Amino acid sequence: MITLIGKALAEEGLEFQYRGPLMECRTCKLKNVCFNLDEGKWYRITKIRDKEHDCKIHEGGKVVTVEVEEIPVPIIISAKNVVEGETITYKPVSCRDTKCEYYPLCHPIGLREGDKIKIVKVLENVECDKKNLKKVLVTW
């Protein structure tokens, strides 16, 4: 998969989460290349190409063409019936504590209730107010 990333950020092996398109970019002629990733998913840069382009948003005013691969996303889910390799229907953890360190993993960007997710790896148990939770890596 090909995309563009700020020249200062371009490093093989860099992992990042695509957070979605910026409003400032809507008139840019390169937006389709920048915005061809899926919001909320994580990617790893596998190759940096030589081609540079001007950019009004990124530090240094330049972006470079990179090849990326999708990588599993870390999330927290109910520990009930969590088995590596299983495909399940995503149900977010019921929590409103936005100050909790786990909140972003319990409410991951780009993942919606009802989406089918595949549990790639079970990482660890998570301590949380009387809830039995697991941190897992998933794809969807």
Q: What does the pLDDT look like over 19-31, one tens digit per residue? A: 999 999 989 999 9
Closest CA to 15 of 36, 37, 46, 39: 46
Give the model's confidence band at 40: pLDDT under 50 very low, under 70 low, under 90 confident, else very high.
confident
Cross-strand pairs, 62: 54
Is pLDDT at 130 greater than 90 in this prediction? Answer: no
Domain-by-domain residue ranges, the chain? 2-71, 73-139
Contact (CB, 8 A) for 121 and 136: yes
Backbone φ and ψ for 17, nearest 5 degrees, come out as -105, 125
